[in-house]
Homo-oligomer: A and B are copies of this chain.
Amino acid sequence: MGGIIKTADWQEMTTALEASPLGPLLNNIVRSHRPLQKAGSVPANIPFLAEVPFDKFGIAVATTSGQVYRSGDADVPFSIQSISKVFTLAMALQGDPAGRLWSRVLREPSGTAFNSLVQLEVEHGVPRNPFINAGALVVTDHLMEGTPDAAKQLLRFLTAEAGSSGPFINEEAASSELLGSNRNLALAHFLKDFGNLKQTAQSVVQNYVRQCSIMMTCVELAQAGLFLAREGRGRLGRILSPSDAKRIGSIMLTCGMYDAAGEFAYRVGLPGKSGVGGGILVIVPGVCSICVWSPRLDAKGNSLAGTAALADLSDRTGWSVF
């Protein structure tokens, strides 16, 4: 950066954090938000997600100073689904200093459902952002140019950054999910028709579904995402430039929660990315990375208990970018 004025003093904040009763607070959050009865929904087209017990609830916080706080089912692996999009975007930007990706996908909120084909038709095959499905398919296609098995590459990235050998691709779940992927296949063929896909539609969707089927715990995801709170510096060295790290934060804030990005920014005030597996990854720039998980979803496809828990946590810690 080299900015002449700093907005945040990490040292000051992480000191506050260490002294803070964050452990007890997370326990309290778990007690308040763990679902007591079946509410919300599970995605109709991914059968195995329906089998996860409705009362699972976990939360983990990884701080920029190296602490990890956890509570509830923070060590139970779940399907990361669309949270993978944050990491594939980071990987794509890593290998793309010239920004070629940005000629194939925009950075604007979509105002429509994550799997809508309407906007794609109106905008002639250029997806609105990398976090709607059409955009993520383009990112996957971009990655596959360099590494055909982009899902395996993502797994290596996540394993390294999580500092854990826990993450794995649930290949059986992926095969099952692929059977319900007609909407994604429609999007992929549509992109192909517009000339915005280089691999075959089938192979891109298959790879994308395998990325979504990676299983991780809250603790692992919070740690893997920490580089976004650390201006791009990962566990083993720089992953992204500070400006690219910030920019992923901005895309998370404006586009990360499907068609509820505005509502989430309003209630939580932090960059976040959710998945239909019930996980949400949230970044507090300069402070920490948070992962919350509870499987039941609201009408927009975001974790019901997870969103409520993050709003509560934001209120009680003052964490907000605004």
Asked whether, in the complex, the Cβ of A109 is within 8 Å of the Cβ of B109, the reply is: yes
Main secondary structure of the interface of A (DSSP, over half): helix
Across the interface, which residues of B come within 8 angstroms of A129, CB to CB? 262
A14-44 to B contact mask, C-beta < 8 Å, 1/0: 0011001110010000000000000000000
Interface membership of A308, Cβ < 8 A: no
Known: A108-B261, A109-B111, A111-B111. A318 touches B250 (CB 8 A): no
* Best-surrounded residue of A108, A110, A190, A285 (most CB of chain B within 10 A): A108
Q: How far is the CA of A316 from the CA of B201 in the complex (A)?
A: 43
Q: Is A182 an interface residue (CB 8 A)?
A: yes
In the assembled complex, the Cα of A292 lies from the Cα of B110 at a distance in Å of 28
Asked whether A119 is an interface residue with its Cβ less than 8 Å from the other chain, the reply is: yes
Interchain nearest-CB distance for A253 vs B (Å):
6
In the complex, the count of this chain's copies comes to 4
Chain A stretch 38-84: residues in CB contact (< 8 A) with chain B: 45
B182–A192 CB distance below 8 A: yes
Q: Contact: B316 with A7, CB < 8 Å?
A: no
Interface residue range, chain A: 35 or more
CB distance from A270 to the nearest CB of B (A): 10
Is B320 in contact with A246, judged by CB distance below 8 angstroms?
yes
Residues of B within 8 A of A98 (CB): none
**Which one of B243, B253, B263 lies within 8 Å of A108 (CB-CB)?**
B263
- Asked if A189 and B193 make an inter-chain contact with CB atoms under 8 angstroms apart, the answer reads no
Complex Cα distance, B271 from A322, in Å, reads: 8
List residues of A whose CB falls within 8 A of some B CB. Answer: 1-9, 12-13, 16-17, 20-22, 25, 45, 106-112, 116-122, 128-129, 182-183, 185-190, 192-193, 201, 243, 245-247, 249-251, 253-255, 259-263, 265-266, 269, 271, 284-287, 315-322
The 3 closest A-B pairs by CB, nearest first: A3-B318, A111-B111, A109-B109
